[in-house]
Structure 1
Amino acid sequence: MARSYCIYCTYPISACLCHAVSPIQISTEVVVMQHPSEVNHAKNTVRLMQLVIPQMQVLIGEASEDFIELQAYLAQATKPIYVVYPSDNSVSVSQANPANNAIIILIDGTWRKAYKMLQSNPWLLDYPAIHLEVEHASNYIIRKAKRPDSLSTLEATALLLSSLDTTCDTTPLFAAFDAMVQHRLGAMPDGVKARYQSNNKEVK
């Protein structure tokens, strides 16, 4: 029997998140370069972000030619542009102190795939790179990460938006995120759920 999907949030009816979605308007322009392997990943948070921030741009690809339209768009942009990626050349958001109407580019993929995308798109080096000063572990406990400073793309975006504009209410992003995490935890068998309780993370 075919699975039924919500026509609004596009999640399966059994996992519908409409009750937790409240769209927001922001001054910052969010652009996500998403690795193709993330598009249909059940736990990908960019999908949630699009529900909460409908004006954000999501472009799918890996190589430079996949982002030709984005490159042309950025070339004519009059706003400051930043690439969100921690590296030896990046500076913290507080150091960069970007305006809240800036364009921020995030790369959505595993660390390995995101690094490969960065190497395949040298034009990104034309823009200053910034990183978040992560003080707390990610709440993305349903997806494992190799690095302790790993955040989901949604969490990184929410923290970045808050840093750029202290009046920006990112509560709707975290509300949708928490609803997805709790639903997926609730659907797990106890034995599977226990595997996500490592590192002293509390699972509700």
Structure 2
Amino acid sequence: MPQEIARTYNCGLLYPAPNAINVESISSKSKPVEVLFVLDGTWKKANKIALLNPWLNNLNKITFSQRPENNYSIRKAEQSYSLSTLEACAYFLACYENLQIEPLHHLLAGMIHEQTKFMPDDVKKRYLSEDN
């Protein structure tokens, strides 16, 4: 099914690559992307998904030249520039569709709040600073 969509529409893959198009340089007015594929998971899992689905290599890769700040404080990524899937999609929508993404940031903050409710205090301290 996804391969059929990729053959039918002008698709992009939100994924860093040397030849990727910067989302900041495109706009929805020119409509170069009708469908955006996003791989959801850790970087290790996203890379595995990409390797197991070679048809993804045929899609235009879309990346960010200016990464927004990472606010997903409970993530385990080693790279400080890594974003959650929600943050990456929100940034794409802000750049490409010029949408206001504050509701998505509030959603992320609420999700973090709910997830940390169930963490033991010592674990919670590892992830959250005083201002969260």
State TM-score, norm by structure 1: 0.57
Match of 1:109 among 41, 52, 64: 41
Instruction: Note if contact 2:68-2:91 (Cα within 8 Å) is conserved in structure 1.
Output: no
Three-state SS of the structure 2 residue aligned to 1:108 is coil
CA distance in 1, matches of 2:7, 2:89: 23
2:103 is aligned to 172
Identity of aligned residues (%): 34
CA distance in 2, matches of 1:194, 1:94: 36
2:4 is aligned to 72
Q: 2:77 matched to 1:148?
A: no
1:134 is aligned to 67
Return the offset for 1:202. Answer: 4.7
Q: CA RMSD in A?
A: 1.9
Instruction: Spell out structure 1 runs of 4+ moving beyond 3 A.
Output: none
Instruction: Note if contact 1:196-1:203 (Cα within 8 Å) is conserved in structure 2.
Output: no
Return the offset for 1:88. Answer: 1.7
Three-state SS of the structure 2 residue aligned to 1:86 is coil
2:22 is aligned to 92
In the alignment, structure 2 segments of 5+ residues that lack a partner are none
In the alignment, structure 1 segments of 5+ residues that lack a partner are 1-68
Return the offset for 1:86. Answer: 0.7
State TM-score, norm by structure 2: 0.84
